[in-house]
Structure 1
């Protein structure tokens, strides 16, 4: 099973875990979040992430999901990408997380691709123009 670490601006990380628990009706295993606080020392964030990765990696790797590319969580995660069996994906959305959780029994590369596809396919236009005419 691939572990999943969410690194996001506070309080998003734990909010995403709460949403995943709601959807799956249980707490997904080997899923953790680091909510990065304003002005938190980046070295502290990196150390917390390394400890979380050590807990989450059961031998199949860890997917690190960050909220926005260029933000502190994402910038800190770049230091983690050099670790063995770690892949980092920015642009966290609920469809991305749910897809990663659904496919996490596969290998890390597949989980990464499925999470990325979940994010891309999860962004759709929803409005009245999409109605199907009766009849």
Structure 2
């Protein structure tokens, strides 16, 4: 099973985990979050991420999801990316995360593609201006 690590600006990661626990009615295994706080030491953040990846990897790899490309959490994870073992994607959303969790018994490449598809199809305009009579 692919492990999932959320690397986000605080308190976003823990909030996503709480939302997943609500949706799935319980804790989701092999899912962790590291919430980076302002002015946190970058070496410490990278060490925490490295340790979390080691815990989460059962041999199927780890998907790291960050909130903003170019932000501190993403930059720390980019250094840990290892094609086929640790993949990093940015722009976390609930549709992305739920899709990743749903497909994580598949290969890491499939989980990445499904997460990205979930993000793309999950962002839609909700328009209530048109009424059907």
* SS of residue paired to 1:14: helix
Q: 1:127 to 1:42 in 2, by over 3 A?
A: same
C-alpha separation in 2, matches of 1:50 and 1:124: 35
Q: 1:117 to 1:130 in 2, by over 3 A?
A: farther
Residue of structure 1 equivalent to 2:10: 10
Q: 1:67 to 1:37 in 2, by over 3 A?
A: same
> Structure 1 length as normaliser, TM-score?
0.95
Gaps of 5+ in 2: none
Q: CA deviation at 1:43?
A: 1.1
Moved over 2 A (4+): none
Query: Matches of residues 1-135 of structure 1 in structure 2 within 5 Å?
Result: 1-82=1-82, 85-129=85-129, 131=131, 133-134=132-133
What RMSD over aligned residues (CA atoms) do the two structures have, in Å? 1.2
> Structure 2 length as normaliser, TM-score?
0.96
How many residues get paired?
Answer: 133
